[in-house]
Homo-oligomer: A and B are copies of this chain.
């Protein structure tokens, strides 16, 4: 080793030792007779020191010549500091330099290598290797490593086996777009990169592996929205001879283990909610349950039954927009009755943005003096508004925000508003975690454009046994044994009990519009496998990048990935993708058609 200690290691008990440190010059201060250098490595910072008179002149000169981010090796003696710094673990000591060697010089970095940097996103991505030197980014990747370690510890202890499944697999048109890889040895043919190891993990269950997991890269060639990456990582799991209940318990256990070991937090037992209830109460299948502000229905509440005292039905003959609407639904913003006209206008503009797409926003202030004031006073009596307040559970001082329109669309829009109000009221603290299981998802959703049914989860998800008869009569009403884990309004994982019998799997493909031949051509290996003794099985996959960013209290997954791509799928650091040699194209027997 070029060093005897790391830069995070020295303590007062090391005083008078001769040590050698290596690292990067974080900064240096030259106060005439004294020079101090903060030396940085992954493990911490240590202060080096040279003193005119007692340090050799050539070392003083060397020390003065060091620039930021120079890589040096310094030998010296550990001394107790006169003025200690109790903010750093090494703050009791400094190292008085006796030998100094520049291992490598450094040009001035294009942005500050500090916790708060002056580098913009673009620049930091281009020089990602410098951005990774900054403690906040490095800590994100250290967190990620710890998350992976603890995931493996938990699953290993539960007798899971990690099995690597192939990356060069077969393209299937179902689901998102595949990345494909032309095969040189099989001209005209292509591999696909896996969107998930779904079929392979099911085959491993057919093989009797019983409990499988893998922390695995997956790939999706999608148009990248804000926080998606073309390659991402999953914690992928599957178990045999289990019920949904077993999966929920096992993986609630995993998440609680991660909170305990990584964040030293005790996560409360994870409550459960059906998809129908989540949509009803929050207008979302991934509700943020850290705060209430639940939906109150003025018109046309779907089952399940409204909460006590909230079973109100709006009289018709008032506001036309309400009379014509399929749904009139609102939320109660506690303590917001004082919102100014300007604030209300701004909020109305906010819901009208294309990202939300609402036509408008009705409000009712429940003033502190008990009076009620709304934007629809012309159409409804004070008593009506009183009834609404009852329905909303509103108190004097509160603000009711109401939307009307088609049921699905309006729920989605109000969900956006609810989350926004949660943000504005500080009800969504990143260091406060609440998890939720959402259960009983619909098995299928109808694609109006394609005029056919699509699997909501994937084609291998089992319908609830009691709903199987509905497959023939009312496919949209069939519920799946599918579940999502939601933390703080983010879906972090999802899975399902799988179909394990060939006839039901074939029926499912048929419902999804596959001919028998297409099903056999694309998924024949799985259908065949089900004939040779497939056990009942179920599984789940967690989005590992997302889980890490959530644990890190961040919104973006990008800073939890060492070398992420930008929104055009480019790695701007290595400048990829790029053109390739004609020779490569010739060997692959492909050409580009631009």
Contact = CB atoms under 8 A, between A and B. Distances in A.
Contacts of A581: 173
B24 A533 contact: yes
Interface string A153-196: 00010000111111111110100011111111111111111000
Contact of A207 (B23, B130, B142, B565): B130
A180 to B, nearest CB: 6
Grouping DSSP codes into helix (H, G, I), strand (E, B) and loop, the A interface class, with mixed when no group exceeds half, is: loop
A268 interface: no
Interface in A196-239: 199-200, 203-204, 206-210, 217, 219, 221, 223-224, 230-231, 233
Contacts of A217: 164, 167, 217
| Copy total for this chain | 2
Nearest to A576: B170
Contact of A587 (B2, B177, B534): B177
Contacts of A206: 129
B186 A568 contact: yes
A42 B189 contact: no
B106 A573 contact: no
Contacts of A133: 207-208
Contacts of A524: 575
B584 A594 contact: no
A594 B223 CA distance: 30
A113 to B, nearest CB: 9
B142 A571 contact: no
Contacts of A200: 562-563
A429 interface: no
A499 to B, nearest CB: 11
Contacts of A128: 203
A240 B6 CA distance: 11
Contact of A590 (B208, B219, B577, B593): B593
Nearest to A532: B106
A580 B103 contact: no
A532 B183 contact: no
A6 B240 CA distance: 11
B145 A42 contact: no
Interface string A521-565: 000110001111111100000000000000000000000011101
Contacts of A251: none
A141 interface: yes
B163 A562 contact: yes
A457 to B, nearest CB: 21
Nearest to A230: B168
A69 interface: yes
B168 A231 contact: yes
A422 B315 CA distance: 96
B161 A181 contact: no
Contact of A186 (B170, B188, B570): B570
Given A188-B594, A246-B1, A562-B204, A104 B533 contact: yes
Given A129-B207, A163-B141, A169-B571, A579 B533 contact: no
- How many A residues touch the partner, as a band? 35 or more
Contacts of A571: 166, 168-170
Interface centre among A183, A524, A577 (most CB of B within 10 A): A577
A378 interface: no
A432 interface: no
Contact of A209 (B6, B132, B181): B132
A29 interface: no
B577 A191 contact: yes
Nearest to A110: B532
A587 B173 CA distance: 13
A149 interface: yes
Contacts of A593: 589-591
Contacts of A323: none
A20 to B, nearest CB: 10
A468 interface: no
A535 B129 CA distance: 13
A316 interface: no
Given A145-B161, A210-B42, A525-B575, A187 B531 contact: no
Given A104-B535, A152-B149, A562-B163, A2 B242 contact: yes
A502 to B, nearest CB: 9
Among A3, A208, A233, residue most surrounded by chain B Cβ atoms (within 10 Å): A208
27 contacts: A2-B536, A22-B240, A24-B208, A41-B210, A104-B501, A106-B531, A132-B207, A138-B209, A144-B163, A145-B161, A145-B162, A163-B562, A166-B565, A167-B167, A168-B179, A170-B577, A178-B584, A179-B181, A179-B191, A180-B181, A181-B181, A181-B577, A182-B592, A184-B221, A185-B569, A188-B579, A200-B562
Given A166-B565, A185-B568, 16 more contacts: A24-B533, A42-B209, A104-B500, A106-B532, A109-B532, A129-B203, A166-B562, A168-B219, A168-B569, A168-B576, A169-B574, A170-B576, A180-B182, A180-B584, A189-B579, A525-B575
